[in-house]
Chains A and B, each alone.
Chain A
Amino acid sequence: MGTFFHRHRGATPYLLLAPGVLWLAIFFLIPLGFLGYQSLQSGFFPNFEFTWQFSNFSDGIRDYHTQLVRSFVYAGIATVACLVLAYPLVYWIAFRAGPWRNLFLLFIVAPFFVTYLVRTLAWLNILADEGPVVGILKTLHILGPDGRLLATTFAVVSGITYNFFPFMALPIYVSLEQMDARLLEAAKDLYASPTQAFIRVTLPLSAPGIVAGTLLTFIPAAGDFINAALLGTPNQAMIGNVIQSKFLESLDYPSAAALSFLLMGLILVALLVYAKIVGSERLTG
């Protein structure tokens, strides 16, 4: 053929890759290495020493397993909530929206354009104890007279759900949009009811999107600390809050590093289990 790419086949890919891979190697892999090194240190700020301190990890589990578990539970609930909320919306956009499709996609992405912190602070306003939402709920007796929405698990999980909603919605939309509508027609021709068509045609075909969405939602949610900090009490503290506190308040870098690795490790385990269930090609594409 004689194209540029074929002639220089050997070196080309590596040349193309070099700058990006170098950047990631220096600023992603090496820092992780440093983090690992730091997680085995001990001592008090600013005099840390490398002492193969594996107890940082066991201490981390012993002291903070509550927050670790809680983070995964919150992230899990939020992911499921995102899925349940997003799927019907995205289905409607893909199949029923017609000319309004792009507009509604914009609506999904729009919250993303308002700074994370600012939109979370807006929820502080909306869900305030003396605000309209709580007022209505109290009138409807859904909330008791002492009830509140803020500073509860509900508030924190809702915050996480709201903030990561686009990450779930968009991948599902992409896979639904790529679906060939004629497949549904074929199903109808074969006497499938709308429900059957959905369950046996649409749902499986949107599976890659669901997988991608769940990953893109769950992983960052597990490490989040802002929602818990702004909308929760100490009873809602997630592992992200602990890590932040250890880095910035206690100046206990070794423990913080160990906890970071524990978090990453647990996420990788969850990922592997998930990959086994759904098939690994779907993950890395």
Chain B
Amino acid sequence: MTTLAASPPRRRRSVAARTWAFVKRHALTVYAVLVVGYLMLPIAVVILFSFNHPTGRFNYLWNEFTFENWLHWNDVLGIQDAIITSLEVGLLATLVATALGTLMAMAIVRHRFVGRGATNLLVFLPMSTPEIVLGASLLTLFLNTTAIFQLGFITIFIAHVMFIVSFVVVTVKARLIGFDRHLEEAAMDLGANEATTFRKVTLPLIAPAMVAAALLGFALSIDDFVITYFNAGGTQTFPIFVWGIARVAVPPQVNVIASAIFIVAIAIALTNVFWEYRSAKRTRGAT
């Protein structure tokens, strides 16, 4: 009986076995990279062709590199109005929807009241209704109340708030559920009244969720086509403009605007990530 080596004799694994182990270990990583490539491919195409100087009206063959499209981004009739309208509606609708949604989330999470289930259902329904039904039904309302509602900026704004609110409620709710009420109670014990508690304890703690909800809402608003399409009247948001011009020929400036939105969004997201990383580091450093 040997008492020397407690571990069994190690034979050198074959090349095949080692390769297979290597593949198994990294297969998932390779897969992840491939899928990300698939996701980013159209974006790369969009950004690339925003720098293209097309030979004719159509921007599908690479011709030559130019900065002209970025410099003269508003050369195309209607594109500037469209993107400005999109931004205005987005900002306004996001503000209102975030406010309404946060209030609703607070009510739903912190109180037991008659109708809580029904409210939950009401919030859930718009998210589970296909956009075409949302858009068409809203149009029906507006067409039957033309004395009050004229199709245009206002109706787009109303439609956007309507479908963003649900997403805000769900996002803020998730954060509120994990919220530690004891923090508020502690503040009260230390002499703060309700308003001060709300301002100095509650609000800062749910602020990240509100910001996340607002960002999500803004993204949904800027990108929305179907609901806006039915309810815009003659007003054009950027997606509606693209749909219209795509019937004929998509000018490179459309790629420019789309790329610009993308870059700004990524920048905001990166800033958010960086900020969280910094504040996490700070709290870790403080403890």
A residues with a Cβ closer than 8 A to B are 1-5, 9, 12-14, 16-17, 19-21, 23-25, 27-32, 34-35, 38, 85-86, 88-89, 91-93, 96-97, 102, 104, 106-119, 121-126, 128, 162, 165, 215-216, 219-220, 222-226, 230, 240, 243-244, 247, 253, 256-257, 260-261, 263-264, 267-268, 271, 283-285
Q: Is the CB of B130 within 8 A of A220?
A: yes
Bound CA–CA A4/B255 (angstroms): 52
A243 / chain B contacts, CB cutoff of 8 Å: 132-133, 136
B49 / chain A contacts, CB cutoff of 8 Å: 125
Q: Is B88 an interface residue (CB 8 A)?
A: no
Q: Is the CB of B128 within 8 A of A23?
A: no
B residues with a Cβ closer than 8 A to A are 28-29, 31-32, 35-36, 38-43, 45-46, 49, 60, 99-101, 103-104, 106-108, 110-111, 113, 119-134, 136-141, 144, 158-159, 161-162, 165-166, 169-170, 173, 184-185, 188, 194-195, 197-198, 219, 222-223, 225-226, 230, 238-239, 242-243, 246, 250, 254-255, 258-259, 261-262, 265-266, 269-270, 273
**Pairs A–B under 8 Å by Cβ, sample size 13:** A1-B188, A13-B110, A20-B104, A23-B100, A25-B122, A31-B138, A32-B137, A104-B36, A115-B261, A263-B132, A267-B130, A268-B128, A285-B120
The dominant DSSP class at the A interface is: helix
Q: Is the CB of B162 within 8 A of A24?
A: yes
B31 / chain A contacts, CB cutoff of 8 Å: 88-89, 92
- Given known A-B contacts A31-B137, A91-B28, A110-B40, A285 and B107 have beta carbons under 8 A apart: no
- Given known A-B contacts A23-B165, A114-B46, A247-B139, A271 and B40 have beta carbons under 8 A apart: no
Report which of B120, B129, B158, B246 forms a contact with A117, defined as CB distance below 8 A.
Answer: B246
Q: Is the CB of B162 within 8 A of A27?
A: yes
Bound CA–CA A5/B176 (angstroms): 15
B99 / chain A contacts, CB cutoff of 8 Å: 19
Bound CA–CA A75/B253 (angstroms): 33
Bound CA–CA A107/B40 (angstroms): 7
Q: Is the CB of A115 within 8 A of B138?
A: no
Q: Is the CB of A13 within 8 A of B136?
A: no
Distance in Å from the Cβ of A264 to the closest Cβ of chain B?
5
A25 / chain B contacts, CB cutoff of 8 Å: 122
- Given known A-B contacts A92-B29, A220-B130, A284-B121, A119 and B43 have beta carbons under 8 A apart: yes
B242 / chain A contacts, CB cutoff of 8 Å: 115, 117-118, 121
B266 / chain A contacts, CB cutoff of 8 Å: 106, 110, 113
Distance in Å from the Cβ of A283 to the closest Cβ of chain B?
8
Q: Is the CB of B162 within 8 A of A23?
A: yes
Which chain A residue lies CB-closest to B270? Answer: A106
Report which of A14, A29, A285 forms a contact with B173, defined as CB distance below 8 A.
Answer: A285
20 additional A-B pairs beyond A17-B108, A92-B28, A247-B136, beta carbons within 8 Å, are A3-B194, A4-B194, A4-B195, A13-B113, A16-B103, A21-B122, A23-B165, A27-B159, A28-B125, A38-B140, A92-B31, A108-B39, A117-B242, A126-B45, A215-B128, A223-B131, A240-B132, A247-B230, A260-B136, A284-B120
